Structure 1
């Protein structure tokens, strides 16, 4: 119920459309009632039992007043046009009322369409914004395929299950209540008997719906596993083929798909059970009312005539369809709520990296120094960084080296606040980074990582990423600094050539130079290079290294390096091991330390 109310609250911005929907649904139900009530005069005229009334009575919302005035009108028509003319009049009036009913129904659905489409759009927007706001640590603990499943399959399930059912939720209760009020007016004793029967069928439908929600939740989880398998396969096709692992991966996918297929069949069968079950229960209730009410009419204890009883049955039979639709909507909503619960696991996830309530003014540039003061960080229980203290003066180049898993990238991730330290402080110009707005803080930095992150867009848009005001001249100038201009111009459409998915049309060195051009264009005072040349061949490394040296001029640079030959000229080299700084100094100084870690790493690379 909590999740349904949460989705229902998304309707509030569109309440005028929802109100118009309710208004037109009420009119549709009223016109529908009028069309069914025409059964009474039709039968009376047909069997020559119409009461002739000479004077009308004051209108009141009662069975007696409505019948008296209807008899008065029909009496005048019969006396003027005869029974055949009155019969034709009743038929024409029924057609007109039915037409008005359907016009009102169309108008109700017309306004509900805006509510449905806009609410689903808002859910997607909220999800995407939350994904952008969540810290990187959230994604290291969650499968990408599961996140994609929640943003696509689960949102689609909400659209199909809950939003499509909103029409029934808004329309059918109005119809049922209005018809029940009419039945009460016609005969309250028989209607009380009906109301006792209806909840019994509702209880049975509710038990099946509860099981449906649980099964649906499992189904969406298994869809997440399947999307994860597809995502991993697409990303690792080269390795799968290289290790002849196609058969193994196919068996794994078949197993996941079989589990999903099995659960989907169970779900569909449960879902298909809703309509026939509600129809059978409705028929049982209708036959019970026919038997009970018919016996009262035959005994003369019903309190109304036989034609009134037939009209009563016609109106009551029309409750069955909206009740059936309402039960179907209940089943759909139960299934959709399972998807809503999965989406909430993202929407309710805690955003641990936030802007401060009272941020310091935008710094614009680095004025004095960056400082890591007694910084420690841990994932779960294991510390990755242990009591790190480091000061980087403005304009200096600091290199960080060490074995894999020594904490190099984790240390650098603290600076743009991709993560926050467990203890200690990271300061820029003596101010803790938590006191800056995230946007202001990250504007100070340009990041070039080991894996060049490119988008399926043009060279121009990839280089100008995050800088909408950049001109073509600015982009060309940045590309020239990054040694990328020549190969860009050799492409079919120059700067407006598409790079393909993740830059798949380019070599590793070309992708890295586009990434460097992006950092050049941003012109940040602080530069972070995270093993930017480690995965390149010798020729590509030389071109990229030249581009990096151009980029590093007049900036404060932090370089994480795997190849020690690229950091010989750093102002200071920080050597890390198991989350601690174990050595520091210039290249020549560190080589003089006997049995030093840096010296050992250097010797291994010289072999």
Structure 2
């Protein structure tokens, strides 16, 4: 554990420093009010209170209780609101970081695990950073205030108490080291459990088809059991400390009562003062217990969120987000391209590959399965850069610095298009959501008409606002492809890449898609990855891999 880790977490509060100050002010007021309670008990026990129930003193006490209750409610709301702001901002930052990660990063990391960590790991931090931290600060203020008040009541009793505090601090320190390590293991186990659950649910049709219910449940049960074991170890460590702490509290309380009763007999302490002292003692130990609990939570959150902060710090596998610039398209050249996927250096896909794709022509890329056709498309899309050699578009060499600008002029239509689980409209122009302008809507409809998609979209229950299910599962294969083609029209591309775009369609859908594609390809550089002889025979340029 490093000091920088504490600083990182606390740094999340800095953008909301004014909210923190206001919330802390309310917290200090409630702490000060809490310290007055034992003094009031002392006042009543020693018989100093007015005899009349409706005396002004009692009315003032009642008013003070009402004000205290209101301030406590406001304090709770302010810290909860602060926690929501902090975690929302952190989640947005994490989401943005993940979106600009390279394709190779997602080859190495499971998407379900990443999504789960954004939600569960940040939630772990939310409460401990705001509400729990506020209670801990209030507990610290109350504990210090109580100790001062106890010294004013009895120096002898308070000196005995001070000997016990180092024992408490040492036990807390030992617990924190144990909990930090256990919580990191627990959170990693939870992430693996989420990963298996996502895989099983995502492949539910496959499980049904081959009757793999037993093995799928067994995989989930195994990871879930491991998580439960890790969670139990964490809980055990905290439980042991709680037991020790309760033993310490009640032992000291009995000791104080024995010594206090002796002081009363000697007329060095009144019954009211002893009652007040015991209340201060109880408040002190309750506050120290909350501090210990908070420290355990804090160390738990350090271990649980270390993965997220490492992700934010990491500068590897990130695509530069530079301003878009116009790319002057020309002929595409593959110059001595060698490529293997990251982490698979021995499995070379291309070795000194040289290609020339003419600007404004239709090029067919064909060849047996496994010869690198889809990999070639991924290189052209900029998902990966060559291991060796260069890709040139006109006079521009493709690098990580200009990939974003280059992609701005590309459209891609694949065999099974990737669609969001939102509406048709949000799949076409996601940046405007459900409130496009009249001009934007006119462009969308025009693109869908060219893609032969407007007719079927209009017949959907809510038209363009119809939700299409996970990955477009409520649409047919032909409908999904026509939406992908409409999306390509809206991109107004210079380069169109078609990857086996009609291989899984029936003749009727295939004809409709091919007519839509003809509208799209006018005046464009076109690359078609295909096995179909009809498409190969009509090619201006044929590349066999």
Is 1:376 aligned to residue 338 of structure 2? yes
- Residue from 311, 334, 344 that aligns with 2:309: 344
**Which residue of structure 1 lines up, in the alignment, with residue 23 of structure 2?**
21
Deviations 1:171-217 (A, max 9, x none): 21222223233344555565344233123123334434443343333
**Which residue of structure 2 lines up, in the alignment, with residue 523 of structure 1?**
492
Which secondary structure does the structure 2 equivalent of 1:38 belong to? Answer: helix
**Which residue of structure 2 lines up, in the alignment, with residue 574 of structure 1?**
543
The answer to whether the Cα contact below 8 Å between 1:528 and 1:559 also exists between their aligned partners in 2 is yes
The answer to whether the Cα contact below 8 Å between 2:472 and 2:480 also exists between their aligned partners in 1 is yes
Deviations 1:365-394 (A, max 9, x none): 544333333333332223433333334332
Is 1:533 aligned to residue 496 of structure 2? no
Residues 196, 482 of structure 1: alpha-carbon distance in 2 compared, 3 angstrom cutoff: same
CA drift of 1:289 comes to 4.0
Is 1:450 aligned to residue 415 of structure 2? yes
CA drift of 1:465 comes to 4.0
- Residue from 262, 277, 280 that aligns with 1:315: 280
Residues 108, 463 of structure 1: alpha-carbon distance in 2 compared, 3 angstrom cutoff: closer
- Residue from 126, 131, 139 that aligns with 1:172: 139
Is 1:129 aligned to residue 129 of structure 2? no
CA drift of 1:119 comes to 1.0
Taking the aligned partners of 1:488 and 1:110, their CA distance within structure 2 comes to: 46
- Residue from 534, 546, 549 that aligns with 2:515: 546
Q: Map 1:70-81 onto structure 2 (within 5 A).
A: none
**Which residue of structure 1 lines up, in the alignment, with residue 325 of structure 2?**
362
Q: Map 1:420-569 onto structure 2 (within 5 A).
A: 420-434=385-399, 438-465=403-430, 471-569=440-538
Q: Map 1:402-413 onto structure 2 (within 5 A).
A: 402-413=367-378
- Residue from 38, 41, 44 that aligns with 2:40: 38
**Which residue of structure 2 lines up, in the alignment, with residue 212 of structure 1?**
179
Deviations 1:504-555 (A, max 9, x none): 1222122112111110122111112223233334443333233223322210
**Which residue of structure 2 lines up, in the alignment, with residue 53 of structure 1?**
none
Deviations 1:418-466 (A, max 9, x none): 2233333333331233375554322111111232112223333323345
Q: Which has the larger radius of gyration?
A: 1
Residues 107, 404 of structure 1: alpha-carbon distance in 2 compared, 3 angstrom cutoff: same
What is the RMSD computed on CA atoms of the aligned residues? 3.3
The range that moved more, 17-26 or 306-315, is 306-315
Residues 497, 11 of structure 1: alpha-carbon distance in 2 compared, 3 angstrom cutoff: same
CA drift of 1:11 comes to 0.9
Which structure has more relative contact order (CA 8 Å, sep 6+)? It is 2
Taking the aligned partners of 1:107 and 1:220, their CA distance within structure 2 comes to: 33
The answer to whether the Cα contact below 8 Å between 1:116 and 1:159 also exists between their aligned partners in 2 is yes
Q: Map 1:107-126 onto structure 2 (within 5 A).
A: 107-126=74-93
**Which residue of structure 2 lines up, in the alignment, with residue 69 of structure 1?**
none
Taking the aligned partners of 1:14 and 1:454, their CA distance within structure 2 comes to: 37
Q: Map 1:73-112 onto structure 2 (within 5 A).
A: 84=51, 94-112=61-79
The answer to whether the Cα contact below 8 Å between 2:392 and 2:398 also exists between their aligned partners in 1 is yes
The answer to whether the Cα contact below 8 Å between 1:146 and 1:221 also exists between their aligned partners in 2 is no
The answer to whether the Cα contact below 8 Å between 1:183 and 1:312 also exists between their aligned partners in 2 is yes
Taking the aligned partners of 1:242 and 1:42, their CA distance within structure 2 comes to: 76
Taking the aligned partners of 1:552 and 1:530, their CA distance within structure 2 comes to: 14
CA drift of 1:100 comes to 4.2
CA drift of 1:102 comes to 3.6
Which secondary structure does the structure 2 equivalent of 1:195 belong to? Answer: helix
Taking the aligned partners of 1:43 and 1:488, their CA distance within structure 2 comes to: 79
Taking the aligned partners of 2:158 and 2:334, their CA distance within structure 1 comes to: 77
Is 1:203 aligned to residue 170 of structure 2? yes
Which secondary structure does the structure 1 equivalent of 2:349 belong to? Answer: strand
**Which residue of structure 2 lines up, in the alignment, with residue 586 of structure 1?**
none
Q: State TM-score, norm by structure 2.
A: 0.86
User: 5+ residue gaps in structure 1?
Assistant: 47-73, 75-82, 577-607
Taking the aligned partners of 2:542 and 2:109, their CA distance within structure 1 comes to: 35
The answer to whether the Cα contact below 8 Å between 1:157 and 1:336 also exists between their aligned partners in 2 is yes
The range that moved more, 278-287 or 113-122, is 278-287
**Which residue of structure 1 lines up, in the alignment, with residue 253 of structure 2?**
286
